[in-house]
Amino acid sequence: MNGKNILLGVTGGIAAYKCAPLIREFVKRGAEVKVVMTPLAKQFITPLTLATLSKNPILVDFFNPENGEWNSHVSLGMWADAYLIAPATANSIGKMANGVADNLLLTSYLSAKCPVFLAPAMDLDMYKHPAVQKNLETLRSFGNHIIEPGTGFLASGLEGKGRMAEPADIVKAIEEFFSAEQDLKGRRVMITAGPTHEKIDPVRFIGNYSSGKMGYALAEECARRGAMVRLISGPVSVKAQHSSIEVISVESAQQMYDAAMEETKTADIQILCAAVADYRPESMADEKIKREKTGEMTIRLVPNPDIAASLGKVKREGQISVGFALETNDEETNARGKCERKNLDFIVMNSLKDEGAGFRHDTNKITIFDADGSKIEYGLKQKIEVAKDIVDHIVSIIKK
């Protein structure tokens, strides 16, 4: 943590009292801490306490009422190496998930270019509520890191999940994030992610359920470990966070193919996570196709290029190629077949038979099949953890 700039956002919850030891932990480890509070948070812990511990003035208002100076959320967002919101109340979580910007803490969130961590704290029923869970899922899909609350006695007198994580555990989570080994430093990684859309007419397309979550998690993990990432992405709503990720947005399989064939020339590692449509309509109608009064309609499909297989044909000595296999049956046979046909170093199989695996979930369950015949099975995990396992496997090949 030495020399790291931590922006701590304190929202109005009883757990705000834990911010005092939290700041001390950061300062003890050599970090510089600036604190931004919501107006309500000031009622739970005094700004003077946090200013004294952080050795920095506390920011609450958009303007300093004494001299009219502007508290720039943009420069705060640029100053921070990490933005931690602790405690994060249900109210602020909801606002962050929906882009509300009615206080300095929230405008700083929208401006932050750095990794964002949230330590939720609330009553157990609030935490369980589908609205809060949906908002947390939205924040995860933005690439934010949720530091899970603990279980125990709550301020309400009830017992359950909702206690803000202990300061030492919060600091540990952020420390681990920063201390990631830079084992991909200087490597160029190309990743394909998301679905492709194959146009039928100006308003319709053939597509699939890929959300991009798995591919974007891989991009974040590679960037965190020092790689320069080119992320060729189909249409998704997730956003890349890390500044070392350059997103190349495409729509169709042909566009993804063109971008991938260009990027492969300089890529050291390529990870093909996109759910590419294997077929596209032979032609796209210029105008919206009208419903015929009677009769059926046929759309003639022609094959799209197989990006992974095409990359396999031009694969260079030392270049690492990783594919995915999304299966519904005969998983191992199908995955191994694809690994060989597409000239991959290994293939990551996820099966739609496994609950919580594959499209759209925040979780995935994978098995890695190596070209040399070996196999590693993993349990159900968050996609960011799955990404770590995959990148660890890539690094183990590099180190061979």
CA dihedral angle for residue 54, residue 58, residue 59, residue 61, rounded to 10 degrees: 170
Q: Which residues contact 396 (CB under 8 A, 6 or more apart)?
A: none
Query: Measured from the CB atom, is 85 or 390 closer to ligand PMT?
Result: 390
286 CB burial (10 A radius; 0-12, 13-18, 19+): exposed
Which one of 17, 359, 370, 381 is in contact with ligand PMT (CB under 6 A)? 359
The single residue of 56, 71, 91, 208 carrying the catalytic annotation is 208
Determine, following the binding rule CB under 6 A, whether residue 18 of this chain makes contact with ligand PMT. no
Query: Measured from the CB atom, is 289 or 376 closer to ligand PMT?
Result: 376
C-alpha dist (Å) from residue 79 to 6, 67, 107, 142, 157: 9, 22, 14, 20, 39
Query: Measured from the CB atom, is 304 or 367 closer to ligand PMT?
Result: 304
67 is catalytic: no
Which one of 136, 189, 325, 387 is in contact with ligand PMT (CB under 6 A)? 325
Query: Measured from the CB atom, is 59 or 218 closer to ligand PMT?
Result: 218
Determine, following the binding rule CB under 6 A, whether residue 234 of this chain makes contact with ligand PMT. no
- Least CB distance to ligand PMT at residue 285 (A): 23
- Least CB distance to ligand PMT at residue 118 (A): 21
Query: Measured from the CB atom, is 105 or 253 closer to ligand PMT?
Result: 253
Give the whole-angstrom CA distance, residue 73 versus residue 93.
18
- Least CB distance to ligand PMT at residue 209 (A): 6
Q: Which residues contact 356 (CB under 8 A, 6 or more apart)?
A: 363, 364, 365, 380
C-alpha dist (Å) from residue 36 to 110, 115, 227: 14, 16, 32
Binding string, residues 196-215; x marks residues near ligand PMT by CB under 6 A: --------------xxxxxx
Q: Which stretch binds ligand PMT (CB under 6 A): 43-51, 87-95, 105-113, 356-364?
A: 356-364
Residues contacting ligand PMT: total by CB under 6 A: 29
The region that residue 168 occupies, defined by phi over 0 for left and psi between -120 and 50 for alpha, beta otherwise, is alpha
- Least CB distance to ligand PMT at residue 345 (A): 12
Query: Measured from the CB atom, is 37 or 272 closer to ligand PMT?
Result: 272
Neighbours of 3 (CB within 10 A): 8
Determine, following the binding rule CB under 6 A, whether residue 288 of this chain makes contact with ligand PMT. no
Cβ(302)–Cβ(279) below 8 Å: yes
- Burial code (b: 16+ CB inside 10 Å, e: under 16) for 196-206 equals bbbbbeeebbb
Q: Which stretch binds ligand PMT (CB under 6 A): 90-98, 130-138, 219-227, 303-311?
A: 303-311
- Least CB distance to ligand PMT at residue 338 (A): 5
Query: Measured from the CB atom, is 175 or 306 closer to ligand PMT?
Result: 306
Give the whole-angstrom CA distance, residue 36 versus residue 335.
50
**Residues of this chain, 110-169, that bind ligand PMT according to CB under 6 A:** none
Give the whole-angstrom CA distance, residue 219 versus residue 189.
8
Give the whole-angstrom CA distance, residue 199 versus residue 144.
33
- Least CB distance to ligand PMT at residue 42 (A): 40
Give the whole-angstrom CA distance, residue 16 versus residue 2.
24
Which one of 45, 97, 274, 390 is in contact with ligand PMT (CB under 6 A)? 274
Using the Cα atoms of residue 236, residue 90, residue 361 and residue 244 in order, give the sign of their dihedral: positive
Which one of 92, 103, 135, 350 is in contact with ligand PMT (CB under 6 A)? 350
Half-sphere exposure of 29 (CA within 13 A, CB side): 18
Determine, following the binding rule CB under 6 A, whether residue 394 of this chain makes contact with ligand PMT. no
Residue ranges in contact with ligand PMT by CB under 6 A: 192, 194, 210-215, 253, 272-276, 278, 304, 306-308, 323-326, 338, 342, 350, 358-360
Active-site residue list: 208
